[in-house]
Amino acid sequence: MSRSYFHLHLVSDSTGETLINVGRAAAAQYEGVSAIEHVYPLVRSGSQLERVISEIKAAPGLVLYTLVGGDLGERLESACRESGSPCLSVLQPVHALLQSYLGAPVAARPGAQHMLNAEYFKRIDAMNFTLAHDDGNLPHDLEEADVILLGVSRTSKTPTSIYLANRGLKTTNLPLVPGVPLPPELERAKRPLIVGLFASPERIVQIRQNRILSLQADESTTYVDRVAVADEITASRRLFTRNRWPTIDVTRRSIEETAAAILDLYRDHRLKFIAT
């Protein structure tokens, strides 16, 4: 099926992360259509906005923006009407609802969600912990983790760990390698949520083959042997069942979907842990 393309201009007075996520989530619902993204972060002055407007005029398309200070939003919308580019303030409907419910005016602080508050430093601390404990490193302090991920090689343990760390959870991951025992600290860990990740043998073999090709390594290894991989996965699932650890099949899940499932499990786990 042939694809069609459109220009998507994302104008923000902050990092642009909100717009990127909203734009991609919406565009993903349309098959055969792809967005050519133009991201303009930290637009906070008239001169910066004029440069953005000139680029929109050069490549007309859909414009999404989050400009909360001054008259920059009005100036952008006026320019978009002149160029025939549909324009939408992503946050305005949300602000209107909140203002109606709270009965309070909008403070109009660009980048307010990125202020250096306690939550911000919690995420930084979680990220430092997670990076230091990647792939089985520093197993002696597993009890300090919020989440422990286990799985055979190529079950997306590291990227999932990093995603969870960005949500403020200290995460460590342990690889399940045939013949290599797990650290004894794992049996004593009570505070962390322990989750087993697995995928279909076909999916694991495919990812491992791509990995070997990228490294230009020898392909004649049990690492990509279909039977050996199936045995690894079977052994891992038996381990999870024996210890009553919750499991997630990551075969067709994105990192975000896997992390969302883990966050849901973590909320229940914390409630039970606090209750005891």
Together in a domain, 9 and 94: yes
Together in a domain, 139 and 270: yes
**Quick one: CA torsion of 77, 81, 87, 91, rounded to 10 degrees?**
30
Percentages of the chain per state (helix, strand, coil), in multiples of 5: 55, 15, 30
Question: Of 113, 140, 161, which residue constitutes the final position of a domain?
Answer: 113
Together in a domain, 225 and 127: yes
Question: Of 90, 113, 136, which residue constitutes the final position of a domain?
Answer: 113
Together in a domain, 83 and 180: no
75-80's contacts with Cβ under 8 Å and 24+ in sequence apart are 75/46, 75/49, 76/11, 76/49, 76/52, 79/53, 80/56
Question: Of 65, 83, 113, which residue constitutes the final position of a domain?
Answer: 113
Together in a domain, 134 and 252: yes
Together in a domain, 251 and 129: yes
Give pLDDT tens digits along the chain (276 positions).
Answer: 678 999 999 999 988 888 999 999 999 899 899 999 999 999 999 999 999 999 999 999 999 999 986 699 999 999 999 999 999 999 888 888 888 888 877 665 665 555 556 788 899 999 999 999 999 999 999 999 999 999 999 999 999 999 999 999 999 999 999 999 999 999 999 999 999 999 999 999 999 999 888 877 666 688 999 999 999 999 999 999 999 999 999 999 999 999 999 999 999 999 888 877
DSSP state of 251: T
Together in a domain, 135 and 270: yes
How far, in Å, are 106, 186, 251 from residue 63 at the CA level?
23, 50, 35
Residue in the structure block whose two tokens are 């923000």: 12
Together in a domain, 151 and 231: yes
Looking at the structure of the chain, the number of domains it has is 2
Residue in the structure block whose two tokens are 């792939």: 135
Residue among 206, 213, 208, 201 nearest 223 (CA): 208
Together in a domain, 104 and 122: no
CATH number of domain containing 38 = 3.40.50
Together in a domain, 51 and 167: no
This prediction has a pTM of: 0.71
> Measured between alpha carbons, how far is 211 from 205 in angstroms, rounded to an integer?
10
Together in a domain, 90 and 211: no
Residues annotated within the binding site for ADP are: 151-158
Together in a domain, 205 and 184: yes
Q: Is 253 helix (H, G, I), strand (E, B) or coil?
A: coil
pLDDT for the residue numbered 99: 85
Longest dimension (CA), the chain: 68
Domain ranges, residue 170 = 118-275
